[in-house]
């Protein structure tokens, strides 16, 4: 849509020491106004022509009955205005000058002005005629040391991080904010909902009183806050909606406030969630934490003509924001859904100094404050010091406006922006096969216009020859878009979008096997120990009584000192705890999944040959404190597990795991195995998703690749500890000490990729501590390799809401894992390739 001109109207008030008529003021003073296009002011030569940059002829207008303003009105016309949007935050500088009769300047005021149009169409909110998508967050004013005291540097840091992570909108929750915040949002380009400071959350405890929203005596106070907000902030282009408040019920006082706004500022829409988010006082259907299937249902309802924008969704409390991709699959593909605001931007913790001088993040109750809401103030995508949580990667990915998809033999690159072309982006490609780079290069594309796409046929692509000649089991193409030039919020080279798609493989996916035979194995039973080894290459000791690996050595170097046990428990996250007695955590505890003991029904050698030994172990998982007089039956058993180890002379260990849970159990936290490695096995490399923390329902941003990190760096220091640091879809992983000795693990046979976790903090310790700094680092590395791991959830944090596809029902599971010894001369990639049949 092209706007050929914009009408400029400037309302001016003049304060005088005594009352004076308009005519007498004008007899002694002159009011002038000018609108400047400041682009030339910042040219490289440093020379600007002030007169030529004045782009609007603004003159004092005679009094008019149609203008209800007690001061003075100046009007003008701007031809072909450069419009403001979050994508292109074009701003002009308005200067208003007051001169006396002799022409001397008495006063001069200026402000930045953005010119844009906000309107509505059926099921759409329009900015400059386009249905922009709201990729938003809620933001409280918060400083990690100063609390609610605002610093401009902190505001700028927030905006820089938001823009760098593709966030284009902010809801001022739940009050009008510092005036400088609005100027900065105009400058950086951020759509905004400005919210009145009205909330009656918890008033239901006072049910004997009439609700303020319906109480006439409260009407003036409520309207005063709404009117004050609008009058103070109305000149900011970033504000596209006014909000009547937050969680304040609904009643006639809201209707009155909405009516006043519609009469005084019809240039913006009204937002209000209270009363069910669909009252006559809101122009937007704006629910909180509504489930994906429900928002789609509303959008498809022809009787609802308003757009739906979630005012709060994806509650970011601790390790959260699962299912976010499902919201955006719905938003991107359903007319009438126009985005939402994640709750919320930053953890509202405060820096507290302990008696020993150390500092840590504190929350409700840490200051002796009563009552308090404990850690329910820690709901952010970033820590209080603005360090990003891992979930911010997922937000950036799902909020990116350059989309890449593949269908059959066609790769499609889509520019979903509404105003920006791809002219300022540099595209590159890289192709990987089974984790190894096959090729890379610049991707030369024509400029893609807004809301347009470009198709690349595989046969004519720059990566075709590498793909066509590749025999890898998995082939991934990654296309990345980077900024060519620096902007106000980031340096040139910043990654705006990066998408990985899987290309068809030339080979069929078949079961993984290893070649057997060769090295002769040594096997003996000494008392309660089964010892299996090959020369000095490796040695494994099994404890017959526990069925566990007592030790595993590689070239005489201890690698594993405890394992391999089944595991079904995880340290609960905040979302796991949400919901009281119906929470996953409460149900797990009630079922004693948190306190399982594994009794060994039997541990025996089933098969012995020159080059292999097969050992079978059967466990019963019973609640702690029960079954102490266990007699190889299964009283009160919650799980029956069979682990079959096939140990080859090559050092390969294939573990077949069969799990039979009690059918009455709730959804399980995980199904996998746990073992403890020597703390020196800290060098971890894996082929799977990464490099950052990711889980089954929060992994869209995590590309499949080969990554390496120290064990200590995998830990994510959420303020309240819980399950963290996992990596999803792991094909293989290696754990090595600095000399290169260690252990390799991978999926095997027909088993899918694993969820991997390795930490110096045990599951028990992560569950015990209430603050990250309380955690006690162990002398071992606890490793979990999970066949199944429950999702994180995050639709909210007060009901059990992991989506069904990410739950683990208590049914039978079977899976295989391959382990083998590692030396500096061996490679995880080479070992993995050896199990892929040609």
List the catalytic residues: 247, 312
> Hey, what are 80's tokens?
């072909």
- DSSP for 790-823 reads -----S-SSS----GGG---SS-EEEEEEEEEE-
- 184's enclosing H/E stretch is helix 179-188
Residue 398's nearest CA partner among 185, 238, 576, 168 is 168
DSSP state letter for 711:
H
SS3 at position 547: coil
* Contacts with 648 (C-beta within 8 Å, 6 or more apart), sequence order: 514, 516, 519, 521, 611, 612, 654
How far is the C-alpha of 510 from the C-alpha of 749, rounded, in Å? 8
Question: Using an 8 Å Cβ cutoff, are 37 and 19 in contact?
Answer: no
Residue 560's nearest CA partner among 676, 431, 464 is 676
How far is the C-alpha of 816 from the C-alpha of 249, rounded, in Å? 55
How far is the C-alpha of 559 from the C-alpha of 680, rounded, in Å? 8
Farthest-apart Cα atoms in the chain, separation: 113
- DSSP for 299-359 reads HT-TT--S-EEEEEES---SS--TTHHHHHHHHHHSTTEEEEEES-SB---EEEE-TTS-E
Question: Using an 8 Å Cβ cutoff, are 731 and 688 in contact?
Answer: yes
How far is the C-alpha of 192 from the C-alpha of 185, rounded, in Å? 8
Pairing state of beta strands 134-139 and 337-342? parallel
How far is the C-alpha of 143 from the C-alpha of 384, rounded, in Å? 7
CB-based burial label for 637 (10 Å; 0-12, 13-18, 19+): buried
SS3 at position 38: helix
Question: Using an 8 Å Cβ cutoff, are 733 and 828 in contact?
Answer: yes
How far is the C-alpha of 744 from the C-alpha of 740, rounded, in Å? 11
Pairing state of beta strands 522-526 and 529-534? antiparallel
- 295's enclosing H/E stretch is helix 292-299
Question: Using an 8 Å Cβ cutoff, are 169 and 375 in contact?
Answer: no
Q: Is 300 left (phi over 0), alpha (psi -120 to 50) or beta?
A: alpha
Q: Is 735 left (phi over 0), alpha (psi -120 to 50) or beta?
A: beta
Strand partners, 813: 659
DSSP state letter for 739:
T
How many Cα atoms within 13 Å fall on the side-chain side of residue 417? 23
């Amino acid at each position: 849509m092209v706007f050929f001109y914009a009408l400029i109207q400037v309302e001016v008030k003049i304060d005088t020491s005594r009352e004076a008529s308009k005519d007498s003021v004008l007899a002694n003073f002159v009011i002038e106004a000018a609108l400047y296009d400041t682009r030339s002011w910042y040219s490289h030569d440093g020379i600007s022509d002030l007169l030529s940059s004045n782009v609007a002829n603004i003159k004092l207008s005679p009094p008019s009955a149609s203008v209800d303003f007690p001061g003075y009105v100046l009007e003008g016309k701007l031809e072909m205005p450069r419009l403001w949007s979050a994508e292109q935050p074009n701003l002009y500088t308005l200067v208003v000058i007051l001169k006396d009769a002799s022409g001397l300047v008495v006063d001069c005021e200026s402000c930045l002005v953005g010119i844009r149009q906000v309107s509505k169409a059926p099921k759409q909110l329009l900015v400059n005629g386009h249905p922009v998508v709201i990729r938003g967050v809620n933001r409280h004013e918060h400083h990690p040391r100063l609390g609610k005291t605002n610093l401009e540097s902190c505001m700028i840091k927030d905006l820089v991080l938001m823009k760098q992570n593709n966030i284009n909108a902010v809801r001022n929750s739940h009050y009008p904010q510092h005036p400088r915040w609005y100027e900065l949002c105009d400058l950086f380009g951020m759509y905004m909902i400005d919210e009145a400071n009205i909330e009656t959350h918890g008033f239901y405890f006072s049910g004997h009183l009439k609700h303020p929203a319906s109480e006439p005596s409260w009407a003036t106070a409520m309207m005063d806050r709404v009117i004050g907000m609008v009058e103070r902030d109305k000149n900011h282009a970033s504000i596209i909606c006014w909000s009547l408040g937050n969680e304040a019920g609904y009643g006639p006082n809201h209707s009155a406030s909405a009516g006043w706004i519609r009469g005084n500022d019809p240039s913006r829409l009204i937002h209000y969630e209270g009363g069910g988010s669909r009252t006559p006082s809101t122009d937007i259907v704006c629910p909180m934490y509504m489930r994906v299937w429900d928002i789609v249902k509303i959008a498809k309802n022809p009787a609802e003509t308003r757009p739906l924008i979630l005012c709060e969704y994806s509650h970011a409390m601790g390790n959260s924001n699962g299912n976010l991709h499902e919201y955006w699959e719905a938003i991107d593909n359903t007319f009438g859904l126009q985005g939402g605001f994640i709750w919320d931007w930053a953890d509202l913790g405060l820096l507290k100094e302990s008696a020993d001088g150390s500092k840590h993040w504190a929350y409700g109750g840490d200051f002796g404050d009563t009552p308090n809401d404990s850690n329910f103030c820690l709901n952010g995508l970033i820590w209080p010091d603005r360090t990003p949580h891992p979930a911010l990667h997922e937000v950036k990915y799902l909020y990116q406006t350059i989309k890449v998809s593949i269908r059959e033999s066609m790769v499609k690159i889509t520019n979903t922006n509404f105003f920006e072309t791809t002219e300022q982006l540099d595209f590159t490609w890289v192709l990987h096969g089974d984790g190894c780079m096959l090729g890379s290069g610049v991707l030369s594309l024509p400029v893609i216009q807004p809301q347009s796409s470009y198709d690349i046929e595989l046969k004519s692509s720059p990566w075709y020859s590498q793909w066509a000649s590749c025999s890898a089991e998995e082939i991934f193409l990654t296309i990345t878009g980077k900024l060519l030039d620096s902007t106000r919020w980031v340096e040139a080279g910043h990654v705006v979008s990066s998408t990985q798609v899987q290309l068809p493989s030339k080979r069929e996916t078949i079961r993984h096997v290893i070649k057997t035979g060769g090295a002769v194995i040594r096997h003996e039973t000494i008392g309660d120990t089964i010892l299996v080894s090959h020369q000095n290459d490796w040695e494994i000791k099994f404890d017959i009584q526990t069925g566990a690996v007592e030790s595993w050595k590689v070239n005489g170097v201890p690698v594993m000192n405890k394992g391999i046990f089944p595991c079904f428990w995880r340290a609960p996250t905040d979302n796991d705890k949400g919901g009281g007695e119906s929470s996953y955590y409460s149900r797990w505890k009630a079922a004693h999944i948190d306190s399982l003991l594994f009794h060994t029904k039997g541990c025996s050698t089933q098969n012995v040959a020159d080059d292999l030994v097969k050992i079978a172990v059967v466990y019963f998982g019973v609640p702690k404190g029960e079954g102490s007089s266990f007699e190889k039956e299964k009283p009160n058993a919650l799980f029956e597990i069979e682990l079959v180890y096939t140990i080859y002379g090559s050092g390969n260990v294939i573990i077949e795991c069969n799990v039979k849970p009690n059918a009455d159990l709730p959804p399980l936290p995980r199904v996998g195995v746990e073992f403890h490695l020597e703390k020196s096995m800290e060098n971890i490399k894996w082929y799977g998703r990464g490099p950052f923390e990711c889980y089954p329902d929060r992994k869209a941003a995590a590309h499949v690749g080969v990554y390496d990190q120290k064990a200590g760096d995998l830990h994510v220091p959420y303020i309240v500890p819980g399950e963290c640091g996992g990596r999803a879809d792991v094909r293989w992983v290696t754990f090595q000490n600095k000399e290169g000795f260690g252990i390799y693990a991978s999926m095997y046979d027909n088993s899918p990729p694993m969820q991997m976790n390795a930490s110096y903090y045990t599951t028990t310790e992560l569950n015990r501590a209430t603050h990250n700094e309380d955690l006690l680092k162990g002398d071992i590395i606890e490793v979990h390799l999970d066949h199944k791991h429950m999702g994180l959830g995050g639709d909210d944090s007060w009901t059990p809401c992991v989506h069904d596809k990410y739950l683990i029902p208590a049914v039978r599971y079977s899976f295989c894992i391959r382990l083998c010894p590692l030396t500096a001369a061996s490679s995880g990639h080479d070992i993995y390739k050896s199990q892929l049949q040609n």
